[in-house]
Structure 1
Amino acid sequence: MVATWRCIRIRDFLDIRGLFSAGWLNEAELLEVVKVTVEAVVATEIGLNKYLEDAGFEVTETDIEEWIAQLAGERPSPKKLEEIAELFSKAIGERLEPDPQVLLKAARRYLRQSIINADMGISGANIAIAETGTLVIINSEGNARLVATLPPIHVAMIGREKLVSSLNDAATILKLLSKNAAGYKMPGYITYISGRSTTADIPGAPMIRAQGPEEVHIVLLDSHKQMKEFNEETYRLP
C-alpha cells in the first residue's frame, strides 16, 4: 500500500492564505467548500480564519476557548459564566443557563455537529515524521482528532522546524512536550496520521476512506525569507 501526501512548502507564514486560491484546490472545488472547522493555533496567528470568512466561508473554531473568543470577536481571555452563556445561547439559538455542565454539553453538541457538517477540517500538528510520513497531533479536548478525520478534506499546517527524522525522535519530543506544556506524563489524545484511511474488509480491491477524509493536504510552513516561491511536490511514502 502506498500513501500519497500532497505537501506544499511556503516561504512566509502569510503566504498560506494565498494557497486557498493558488490552484492546489481548483476554483470550482474551492467555491463548494462552504464550512470549515479549525483546530490550529497557527491559523489564528496568521489571520487565516478572517481571510476565509471575508471570502465567504463559514469558519468555526472547535477548541472551546478559541470558540468563545471567536463568538466574542476578540482574543482568548477569561470570561464569566454569564458571559459565556450569553455567547453560547446566541450561537446555538436556545437559552442556556450559566451552569458549567450545561454549557459544556451544549458546546460539545454544537461543535461536534459543526465538524460533521464541515466540508474541510484545518488542523495543526505537533510533529511530522519523515521516516514514515506521519503527522502527530496532540490534543486534550479530542476536537483535533475529529477535525482531522470527519470532514472529507483535511488540511494540516505544521512548521518546518517540527519535522523530525524518526519515530524514536518523535517519542522523545512527545515526552518533553507533555511534561513541559501540560505537566503530566501523557496528554489525553495523541493521534498518528500516516495517510488516508483504507479498508479491504469488503471483497475486491482496497478502498480509501473507510472513515477518514478523502483528501489529506499538508502545508509545511517555512519562515526563511531567502526561500523562493513555494513549490509543490507529491511524496510517495512506504
Structure 2
Amino acid sequence: MKENKVNPDFIIIGGGSAGCVLANRLTECKTHHVLLIEAGPNDSDPWIHIPIGYGKNFRNPKINWMFKTEPGEKWVKNGVPTPRGKVIGGSSSINGMVYMRGNPDDYNHWQQLGNSGWGFDDVLPYFKKSQNQQRGEDNYHGTGGALWVSDPAEIHPIAEAYISAGIEAGYKYNPDFNGERQEGFGPIQWTTKKGRRSSAATAYLNPAKLRNNLTVISQGLVQRIILMVQKQLVLNIKF
C-alpha cells in the first residue's frame, strides 16, 4: 500500500468527462488546490488519440471497465458489452467521438416537470460555450470553446448510399443533427481536432495541468471514503 499525503481543498474521484471539466473549472481559482484521482492510467496510449483506435480500445481491459448488461434468457445470453472508460478522460477517451446533443424536447420536458433552468433554451448557451465548432458560429454552435467539433472531411460511399436510401424512403436530409432539428438522414459531427480525438482530457484537463494548484493521481482506485472528526477525510486508495 502506497501512502500519499496531500491537503487539497477539493477531491475529485474519477478523471472522466465530468471530472476533467470540474478540475479545470475549480483550478481557475488559484487559491484552491484540487486533487483528481482516476482508477485507470493516463491517456498516453497513441490508440486513444488516433480516431480509428476506438475499435481497439473497446476491447482493452486496461482502459475499459468491460461492463456488460445482464444476460437475457431469449437474447444475448452473455450480455451486451457496454464500454466505459477506465482512463484519464473516461469514456470520452475511448468512445466513437460522435458529437450528438440530447433532443430539445427532452430538456423542455425536464423543465415542464419543475426543473427550472433546464429547458433547451437554457442549456443551449452552455453547449455553444463548450465547443469550438470548425464550421463557424451560428444560432446553435459556438467557437472558442475547449471541445473541438468537426464535420467529416469526406463521406464514405456506404454512408452516402445510406443517406440516399433514407431520403428515397421519404425522410428529410439533415446537414446538422445539432442544429434546428434532429430528425432526418445526414452526416454526423465528430469531436476531433485536426484528425485526432478531442476528449475531456485533451480539452479540459491538459490546460489545467499547467496550473500549480492541481494534483492528478492515475491508477488509483478509491475503495473507501472514511469521514473522520474535525472535518478530516481519509481515502483508501489501491494503486
Report the TM-score when normalising by structure 2: 0.24
Bigger strand share: 1
Report the TM-score when normalising by structure 1: 0.24
By relative contact order (CA 8 Å, sep 6+), the higher-ranking structure is 1
**Which of 1 and 2 has greater Rg?**
2
